[in-house]
């Protein structure tokens, strides 16, 4: 199938295909006599796997590693688990950071409920004069 059809079926744009090819995530397909790329049907599943991994928080470097681990075996499973464990720890840290930011904003917003004469905008007070 050609680039546009593959992109449509996988839910990505054509430039994403080119980028994944440059990164080595997607093999460069053979070309037709007219010079068009002709992707195999299996490319759709590969692209869907990449996008699924990204939705789980994996980086493209992680996805590349997971694709190389696909050969199987217990060592591959252990390595995939280690990647997933590291990604989960990263997400936990990011969630904690976001929660701290949310709590800080909640405190700042609480000052807005005070009577006008008793409040000062703490957010604006942090800006340099």
CATH of the domain at 36: 1.10.1660.10
| Res. 129 pLDDT band, cuts 50 70 90 | low
**Mean pLDDT, residues 41-62:** 95
pLDDT at 39 over 80: yes
Segment 61-71, tens digit of pLDDT? 999 999 988 77
Domain boundary among 28, 57, 86: 57
DSSP H stretches of helix in the chain:
3-10, 14-23, 42-55, 60-69, 74-110, 122-125
Look at residue 31 and give its three-state secondary structure.
Answer: strand
Judgement on whether residues 52 and 81 belong to the same structural domain of the protein: no
* Domain range for 3: 1-57
Dihedral angle over CA of 41, 43, 49, 51, nearest 10: -120
Judgement on whether residues 129 and 75 belong to the same structural domain of the protein: yes
If you average pLDDT over every residue of the chain, what do you get? Answer: 90
- With 0-12 CB in 10 A as exposed, 13-18 as middle and 19+ as buried, what is 39? buried
Angle of helix 3-10 relative to helix 14-23, nearest 10 degrees? 100
Q: Which phi and psi (to 5°) does residue 34 adopt?
A: -85, 0
Segment 75-110, tens digit of pLDDT? 888 999 999 999 999 999 999 999 999 998 888 888
pTM of the model as a whole? 0.76
């Amino acid at each position: 199938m050609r680039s546009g059809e593959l992109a449509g079926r996988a839910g990505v744009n054509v430039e994403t295909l080119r980028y994944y090819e440059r990164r080595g995530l997607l093999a460069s397909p053979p070309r037709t006599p007219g010079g068009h790329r002709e992707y195999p049907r299996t490319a759709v599943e590969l692209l869907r796997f990449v996008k699924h991994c990204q939705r789980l928080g994996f980086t493209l470097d992680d996805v590349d590693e997971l694709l190389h681990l696909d050969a199987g075996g217990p060592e591959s499973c252990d390595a995939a688990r280690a990647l997933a464990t590291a990604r989960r720890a990263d997400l936990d840290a990011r969630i904690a950071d976001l929660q701290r930011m949310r709590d800080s904003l909640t405190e700042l917003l609480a000052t807005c409920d005070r009577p006008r004469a008793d409040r000062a905008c703490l957010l604006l007070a942090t800006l340099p004069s």
